[in-house]
Amino acid sequence: MTFENYKYIRPNVEEAKTKFLSIEKRIKEATSTSQTLEIFNEYNELRNELETMSTLVEIRHTVDTTDKFYEAEREFWDEFSPELTSLLSKIDKAIFNSKFKEELKKEIGEHYFNLIETTLKVFSDEIIEDLKEENKLVSEYTKLTSSAKIPFDGEDRNLSGIAKYVQDENRDTRLKASQAVAKFFKDNLEQYDSIYDRMVKVRTRIAKKLGFKNFVEVAYLRLRRTDYNAKDVANYRKQILEEVVPLVEELKLAQAKRLGLTNLSFHDEGVNFKSGNPTPKGDRDYLVESAKTMYKELSPETDEFFNFMTNNNLLDLDTKPGKAGGGYCTFLANYKAPFIFANFNGTPHDAEVLTHEAGHAFQVYQSRNLMPDYVWPTYEACEIHSMSMEFLTWPWMNLFFKEDTEKFKYYHIIGSLKFLPYGVTVDEFQHEVYENPELTPLERRQKWLEVEKKYLPSRYYEDIPELNEGLFFYRQGHLFSSPFYYIDYTLAQVCAFQFWKKANDNREKAWTEYLHLCKLGGTKPFLELVKEANLENPFQDGTISHIIPEIKKYIDSVDATKF
């Protein structure tokens, strides 16, 4: 059955409540471990049914944010999901307090109980209305950002559509495109300020009602981080500051020199070569066909997976008016089907986003038969699969980039390294915001500039004065929809660099370890998964300094001036 035929039916709220409350009662009254497990399996089937409907709405709404039917359904789920969380919380509590808990741990795994303990800590019926408000604010942000109609090069473009001009080899074109993007955010600054301010307030209110000092710990628990905390993350950011920032600053100087510039302005940062960035040598259909060949040759598992994706129309890759920005992978539990959403725009990002989201999709395809809480691991582990897939597919990049293959590889590894300081900027900024919720929107924007200066010291906005107002972070959707998620990309990037190194040393062994990691799904917490894949712990002092020399060696071996 192809995606178009996946049927959406709005759930009957009262019927769902009755079923969940019945399950809660039966778990409490169960007289044996086997009876409890039977009810637990019924609970997971019901969850899968509802999550499938919710995910169908998410996909169809983001594919076309102007579709009135799915906009209304999104509003329904914004209202219903906090109530659903309340029902799930009751069952979590019943399982957690079951008199057969120790026997259940042997059957389900202790990790499951650690996960539900985190969710129980961040929910109470007292915050249901606040959660509804938070959901509506996320939808308000998505709608505002998707509404961008930026006049450029003869037509109105959304933020994804204008991205290729921001990376144009012609400096004047990319400056004008960057100015046009900044103007959109400046024109809507009052709305962005208002949405984010209300978000910070509602999240702080949620934290206080739950008995926490501020929203930071709530966010960590929501992300189900069971084996590290904010202190570990702060030490990790320190390593990035000391080990990575100086190298990135060196690379930016070399980049400026290649471009014939004294120094890089913001609008130059995205272009690595005088001749422009490498571009894929074909349209969407060509790229998908190339990916089919790549995944057929990579392994039998990836061949089966990618045929499943293409045969069932589970990729929406074209940029279209009204389509939400960005890219994501999600999972439709009832169909055991991953779904990839992206916005191709004729830049190297097309190949990167395709392999990145395919990494997520491949992992969830491998663990699709596990119970709901184990299908995905926590986010930072999820991103290992996606970012490592980007590197593990390097031998096939010639299919996408032809004569620009080596240029792309250099562009890709430099970009991955340059991403780390930006990623920790986003994270530290969020700590500042939620540890100081009384800041005004203006003070928050000034705080962004302050943190940015720490990790991106040479960034400057001379020709785009609006960005000196600190509004850049408003384009980072994760700040709105998934607070504190962003550091996960950087932790995973450190792990992906390790897979890159492993593949250089022994490709077959690297693939075996990667496949093993994917099959584990979310059955273990982050640091245990890292160990299972024979990776070094990113939080540990020394891990980053072990990786940097190998990357630097590769960078030094490439004569980037020839590109």
> Residue 322: which region, alpha, beta or left (left: phi > 0; alpha: psi -120 to 50)?
left
Cα–Cα nearest to 495, from 460, 538, 457:
538
* 6: enclosing H helix or E strand: none
Packing angle between helix 33-63 and helix 101-108, nearest 10 degrees?
50
Intervals of the chain under pLDDT 70 = none
Reading the block at residue 316, the tokens are 């929406």
Centre a 10 Å sphere on the Cβ of residue 5 and count the other Cβ atoms it contains: 9
Q: Would you say 284 and 317 are in contact if contact means Cβ atoms under 8 Å apart?
A: yes
Contacts of 365 (CB under 8 A, 6+ apart): 305, 308, 336, 338
Instruction: Report pLDDT for 160.
Output: 87
Strands 315-318, 328-332: pairing kind: unpaired
Contacts of 165 (CB under 8 A, 6+ apart): 152, 153, 157, 173, 174, 176, 177
Q: Please state, in angstroms and rounded to a whole number, the distance separating the CA atoms of residues 203 and 134.
A: 7
Instruction: Report pLDDT for 92.
Output: 95
CA-to-CA dists, residue 145 to 150, 159, 185, 325, 477, angstroms: 11, 8, 9, 8, 9
Reading the block at residue 102, the tokens are 């120790």
Cα–Cα nearest to 241, from 2, 88, 454:
454
Q: What is the pLDDT of residues 107-148, one digit of tens each?
A: 999 999 999 999 999 999 999 999 999 999 999 999 999 999
Q: Please state, in angstroms and rounded to a whole number, the distance separating the CA atoms of residues 280 and 29.
A: 60
Instruction: Report pLDDT for 31.
Output: 97
Cα–Cα nearest to 372, from 134, 106, 91:
91
Instruction: Report pLDDT for 325.
Output: 87
Instruction: Report pLDDT for 101.
Output: 97
Q: What are phi and psi of 331, to 5 degrees?
A: -140, 130
